[in-house]
Structure 1
Amino acid sequence: MEATVFARLPLTALRTFECAARLRSFRRAADELSVTPTAVSHQIRSLEHWLGAALFERLPRGVALTTAGERLFDSVHGALLDIQQAADALRPRPDTGQVLLSTNASFAALWLVPRLGQFYARHPTISVCIDTRAALVDLHQDASVDLVIRYGEGEWPTLDCHQRLAETFGVYGTPTQVAAATQTTPALITVQWQDSTLYQRLWQQWCAQAGETWLAGAPLQRVYDEEHHALQAAIGGQGLVMASSVMVSAALGSGLLVPYRPDIRVPGACYQVLSAPGRSRHSPVRVFLDWLQVALR
């Protein structure tokens, strides 16, 4: 009975559908599959006729999945990942395994990279490749990226969220700078992202809670455009830095920085570990996520 059912499955059309749905484009699917856009359209139409349901909404530029299309994509994409994993396991010389992760440069430099040695000690055959390009990766279109770590309070309902890492903000410096700050007004190290006043607001909130008058007048400020630059400035003794509890954790653990007024904390956002639906079934990704769950505690 099962053989009869499987024999009737339009496997070529389903594979074509997965590609077109992931890339949100018949033309890009044609390029990936090395066929013509007309052939892709024909396969999609035949699949829609076989199912009796529309899978795509045709738009002036590209296509969008219908509700039925989204449901089918989640199942087909996950099933093809399972098949690929099983096939890889049977190869005489299977790949050692790779995880491609996209995140921002500061999180990579200050949190992830210092801890990757622990991962490699346990899983030396899995390579973690880190992409820190500024462009936001669309996981539904770029199948080469396994995971993204995004910052903020946003919601991504079409992606799987595996872990969240919340943060608070505080003030930190070298032991010498922290001791001196109890006697004189310190230089303030801050981050100035383009078109962002986040750190300015954080300093105002922190000083208001702490009862510090450092912002009165024209305080001496050292301004950097990246968090890892600001933390390196603090480690170099340039002053006190406003920093995320996530970003500063490695420097605290090594004793390079210590908190000033650790009782004063300002709430921040969080880091979310996301993937396309079904991606976590891929063995190297699952192994990395299991390690990450422990490391994020």
Structure 2
Amino acid sequence: MSPPLPPLVSLRAFEAAARHMSMSRAAEELCVTPGAVSLQIKELEATLGLRLFIRKPRALELTSEGQAYFASLKVAFRMLREATEALQKTACARVITLSCTSTMAVQWLVPKLARFEAENPGLDVRISISHRLVDFSRDAVDLAIRHGLGRYDGLVAERLLDDELTPVAAPAVAARLSAVESLAGLTLLHDETRDDWRLWLAAVGAERVDAGGGPIFTGSNGAIDAAKAGLGVALARRSLVVRELEEGTLVAPFPQGVANALAYFLIYPPQALARLEIETLRCFLLRAAGRPLTG
């Protein structure tokens, strides 16, 4: 049976003091007082039955036994630090951080992540909610989904979801919409801005419907939730309400959709795909969006 080891806290105190040749600097590193370090070393010496330091008025000096012990402990603590660092790097490599807006997360991304996790056990996807442009060198983000024209200097941008604006409403509200002009008698729900409704109404020639009224929802998917609750008609990006349309909680009462050059893009630095975990998530997202895999 192996003899018991001295307490780890005493070994740490001795190793730090011997490395710095200073009780006060060892205490600084360990976030304790110099007196606590000195006490731990005295307890270690008592456990071992040996003196490890010669204490002088303004200096420390290792005994021959202390020098031999420190040489071995220094290697052991270095191995512990290296093993811990390697373990943390391995754990971080299994984490993928994806940035997107709250609406994209709730309406499209999150419902698909359960399948990704089932297909890729051990991979941990973290969602970072943000509406601003990502700085990949600073923000600790691996991939991002953003709405725009796909022009991002120095980054790869792959078209993920096309952008088609479509009025949606709860079934009871949709039943009151016999024609586009009948929108004039209902509340229009706006997501972030009234510009989308103005664009859609102009495109379908609904000149008598005023887009200037109705509440504006900022953040999350408030306009869609309000439409599901029967509070009015929201103008949604069809790609983000596919599930609700399939389930029947929302209805698209008109065939007209307004497509434009805007879309949701998957963006990332060119070197990001060197990590297999990121490439795995990229491929999954493109397949989920019905996009061909390239590269």
Q: Which AA in structure 2 matches 1:173?
A: A
Structure 1 match to 2:127: 130
> 2:219 and 2:243 mapped to 1: Cα distance?
17
Q: Deviations over 1:20-65 (max 9, x none)?
A: xxxxxxxxxxxxxxxxxxxxxxxxxxxxxxxxxxxxxxxxxxxxxx
Query: So what's the TM-score if we normalise by structure 1?
Result: 0.60
Q: Deviations over 1:225-272 (max 9, x none)?
A: 24610000000011211111122222112221111112x111231011
Q: Paired residues, what number?
A: 200
Q: 2:162 aligns with which of 163, 166, 169?
A: 166
Q: Which has the larger radius of gyration?
A: 2
Q: Deviations over 1:153-196 (max 9, x none)?
A: 14113012244321111111122111112285442333253xx5
Q: Tell me if structure 1 keeps the 8 A contact 2:165–2:200.
A: no
> 2:226 and 2:274 mapped to 1: Cα distance?
41
Q: Against the structure 1 CA distance between its residues 207 and 117, is the aligned structure 2 distance closer, same or farther, given a 3 Å change threshold?
A: same
Structure 2 match to 1:139: 136
* CA RMSD between the two structures: 2.7
Q: Which AA in structure 1 matches 2:168?
A: Y
Q: Tell me if structure 1 keeps the 8 A contact 2:191–2:222.
A: no
Which of the pair has the greater relative contact order for Cα pairs under 8 Å at 6+ separation? 1
Which consecutive residues of structure 2, in runs of 5 or more, have no partner in the other structure?
1-85, 291-295
Structure 2 match to 1:266: 258
Q: Tell me if structure 1 keeps the 8 A contact 2:245–2:251.
A: yes
Please give the secondary structure, in 1, of the residue aligned with 2:240.
coil
Q: Tell me if structure 1 keeps the 8 A contact 2:155–2:269.
A: yes
Please give the secondary structure, in 2, of the residue aligned with 1:280.
helix
> 2:226 and 2:191 mapped to 1: Cα distance?
14
> 2:218 and 2:98 mapped to 1: Cα distance?
23
Q: Tell me if structure 1 keeps the 8 A contact 2:187–2:214.
A: yes
2:272 matched to 1:279? yes
Q: Deviations over 1:41-98 (max 9, x none)?
A: xxxxxxxxxxxxxxxxxxxxxxxxxxxxxxxxxxxxxxxxxxxxxxxxx979943711
Correspondences of 1:41-56 after superposition (within 5 Å): none
Query: So what's the TM-score if we normalise by structure 2?
Result: 0.60
Please give the secondary structure, in 2, of the residue aligned with 1:241.
strand
Q: Tell me if structure 2 keeps the 8 A contact 1:161–1:275.
A: yes
Q: Tell me if structure 2 keeps the 8 A contact 1:205–1:266.
A: no
Q: Tell me if structure 2 keeps the 8 A contact 1:140–1:276.
A: no
Q: Which AA in structure 2 matches 1:250?
A: R
Please give the secondary structure, in 1, of the residue aligned with 2:236.
strand
2:190 matched to 1:191? yes
Please give the secondary structure, in 1, of the residue aligned with 2:281.
helix
Structure 1 match to 2:288: 295
Please give the secondary structure, in 1, of the residue aligned with 2:176.
helix
Q: Against the structure 1 CA distance between its residues 227 and 261, is the aligned structure 2 distance closer, same or farther, given a 3 Å change threshold?
A: farther
Q: Deviations over 1:122-166 (max 9, x none)?
A: 113111111113443211344x21011111114113012244321
Q: Which AA in structure 1 matches 2:190?
A: V
> 2:235 and 2:263 mapped to 1: Cα distance?
16
Which consecutive residues of structure 1, in runs of 5 or more, have no partner in the other structure?
1-89
Please give the secondary structure, in 2, of the residue aligned with 1:267.
strand
**How many percent of aligned residue pairs carry the same amino acid?**
25
Q: Against the structure 1 CA distance between its residues 113 and 189, is the aligned structure 2 distance closer, same or farther, given a 3 Å change threshold?
A: farther
Structure 2 match to 1:214: 209
